[in-house]
Amino acid sequence: MSNKESFFQDVYEVVKLIPSGRVTSYGVIAAYLGSPRGARMVGWAMNNAHTDPSIPAHRVVNRQGLLTGKGHFSDPNEMQRLLEAEGIRVENDQVKEFKKLLWDPSEELL
DNA sequence: GGCCTGACTTTAG
DNA sequence: GCTAAAGCCAGGC
């Protein structure tokens, strides 16, 4: 109980650890938490993440590097703007060189 | 207490 | 290669 506050809390921790200029995907986080198919829960957690402004939700995109969650932001255009502000090239709601910018906690955070 | 939805991903046909 | 369906878990009604 004390170890597991909730699945969401784990997601928040990982997302907060994402370095600037990097991005990650829901599936990677879900798999890191032990649910390779629980990507939806990550997205659900992000929906609740609005309660914590410290969570860089704009750095979390889907497997294709698409800003699928931009519509949940106060201003969808702001998500892309934040990514570009960190040096991440975004075009047509898609992160360029996403594969190269992908931040894998099991590899990078090791 | 049961059914549906949801910021996704993967496997099967 | 593309389309369809299932799987994940939690929250809302």
Domain regions of chain A by residue span: 7-100
What does the mean pLDDT of chain A come to?
91
Task: Please state, as a whole number, how many other Cβ atoms lie within 10 Å of the Cβ of residue A30.
Answer: 22
Residues above pLDDT 70, as percent of chain A: 95
Distance in Å from C8's C1' to A85's CA comes to: 33
Q: Of all helices (H) and strands (E), which one includes residue A99? A: helix A98-101
Distance in Å from B3's C1' to A58's CA comes to: 32
Collect all residues with Cβ–Cβ distance below 8 Å to A102 and sequence separation of at least 6.
A22, A23, A24, A25, A28
**Protein residue at shortest CA distance from C1' of B6:** A44
Distance in Å from C11's C1' to A107's CA comes to: 32
CATH architecture of A7-100: Orthogonal Bundle (1.10)
Shortest CA–C1' contact from A41: which nucleotide?
A: C9
**Protein residue at shortest CA distance from C1' of B5:** A44
pTM: 0.90
At A2 the pLDDT is: 37
pLDDT confidence tier of residue A78, bands split at 50, 70 and 90: very high
